[in-house]
Amino acid sequence: MDWENPIATASASETLALGEELAALFQDELYVVTLRGNLGAGKTMLTKGIAKGLAVPDWYYLNSPTFTLINEYQGRLPLYHFDLYRLRDPDELFELGFNDYLSGPGVLVIEWPEPARELLPASNLIDIRIEIAVGDKRIIYMNRS
């Protein structure tokens, strides 16, 4: 994984493969992956790759939990896929039981993570920003703490 330089993907399948490569790094601990980017940038495609890398059965059916706020999947580690786009009040996170998900082990993937920023752990946190370039090309910036 190149943590220093942005990564360019030329297609959805390359973005998926990047997510799969990222999942290979996850061991029996808690990991939090935050995803930022415009609608259609590839956040859910990257999450599908993470699911595939975690051996989630039928990872290809994974979709963004925009209206349910969270989807849970079982693989070699549990995958908790949050979409906080519609969340307006950070107190709503407590109603979701968000703190319970931070006890790990597992992988939390959080699209639109801003409402949860203050609750996220300082370690095993991977912040990803995806920018749409031309056509299907994406520029992906990753920072790890």
Mind listing the pLDDT tens digit for each residue in 26-45?
999 999 999 999 988 999 99
Amino acid at 41: A
The mean of the pLDDT values for the chain is 89
Evaluate if pTM is beyond 0.85. yes
Can you tell me whether residue 21 is helix, strand or coil?
helix
| Domain assignment present for 108 | yes
Average pLDDT over residues 74-93: 88
Q: Which is more confident, 22 or 3?
A: 22
DSSP-derived secondary structure for 45-102: HHHHHHHHHTT-TTGGG----TTTSEEEE-SSS-EEEEE-TT---TTHHHHTTHHHHT
Its domain, for residue 53, covers 26-132
Q: How far from 127 is each of 57, 68, 83, CA to CA, in Å?
A: 25, 23, 15
Most confident of 9-23, 76-90, 92-106: 9-23
CATH number where 118 lies: 3.40.50.300
| Domain assignment present for 1 | no
84 pLDDT higher than 70: yes
Number of domains in the chain: 1
Estimate the crossing angle of helix 43-53 against helix 12-23, to 10 degrees: 40
Average pLDDT over residues 87-100: 84
| Domain assignment present for 93 | yes
Distance CA(144)–CA(17), nearest Å, equals 19
| Domain assignment present for 21 | no
* Per-residue model confidence (pLDDT) at position 109: 96
